[in-house]
Amino acid sequence: MIDHVRDLTSVREATDRLLDTAASWDNATLAEPSRLPGWSRGHVLAHLARNADALVNVLRGLPMYEDGATRDADIERDAGRPLDVQLADLRATAERFQAVCEEPAAWDRTVELRNGVTDSASRVPFRRWVEVALHHVDLDAGYELADLPEEFQLREIDFLADRWSGRPEVPPVTLRTPDGTDRGRTGGTEGAPVTVTGSLDELLGWLAGRGGKGAALVAEGGPLPQLPPL
């Protein structure tokens, strides 16, 4: 059962952590590269602000973004702003998102995100938590996948495993931690089954295309599968 109220608390906590990190920078630090190819830290913060606005649109029954080109142009437009402007925008948009989520609503309704993807409204706060948490890691500022709360790691592993399930280009995969605990299955039905073993943060990094993309994982039954881009 998804608890959107609890997830909203986690979103606020994750946002505060990210803001604390960014508040220690200067404009030069903001302009340095992030871990995302072609994006500075300023691009990441701009994306997070615009994503908050986009999820407000989703909850109000509006298109998430006008279109992909406009989304990209807005991030590029905002990426080079001074640090104080970036922080103010991120705080304001985060508060708008929280405020909309606190309005009375039918949380079991279906909402539409990008590219025709649909989901329960109750999962939107978790989706925002994912954005804030993973992009905090992308800032390359000392916050790593291993620092993410265990609850988040487990839920995001489940979410991403479900996303890759049924993909014909991915063989059947069992996800396992070093203590022998199975953490789920993913992939399609064709090819030799592969067991991938690693810590929660290593499994999450591989599924999310981050953290070395599986360099520390152990694959049995075949090579570590190459996952398509998210």
Quick: pLDDT tens for 106-125. 999 999 999 999 999 999 99
Cα 144 from Cα 166, distance rounded (Å): 30
Cα 178 from Cα 63, distance rounded (Å): 43
CB atoms within 10 A of CB 61: 10
The closest alpha carbon to 113, from 135, 139, 96, 131, belongs to: 131
Give the pair of three-digit tokens for residue 2: 């998804």
Q: Please give the mean pLDDT across all residues of the chain.
A: 96
pLDDT of 214 reads 82
Quick: pLDDT tens for 51-64. 999 999 999 999 99
Cα 57 from Cα 65, distance rounded (Å): 8
Contacts of 219 (CB under 8 A, 6+ apart): 194, 195, 196, 197, 225
Quick: pLDDT tens for 199-230. 999 999 999 999 777 889 999 999 999 898 87
Q: Please answer whether residues 12 and 98 qualify as being in contact, where contact means their C-beta atoms are separated by less than 8 angstroms.
A: yes
Q: Is the pLDDT of residue 190 over 80?
A: yes
Cα 3 from Cα 16, distance rounded (Å): 20
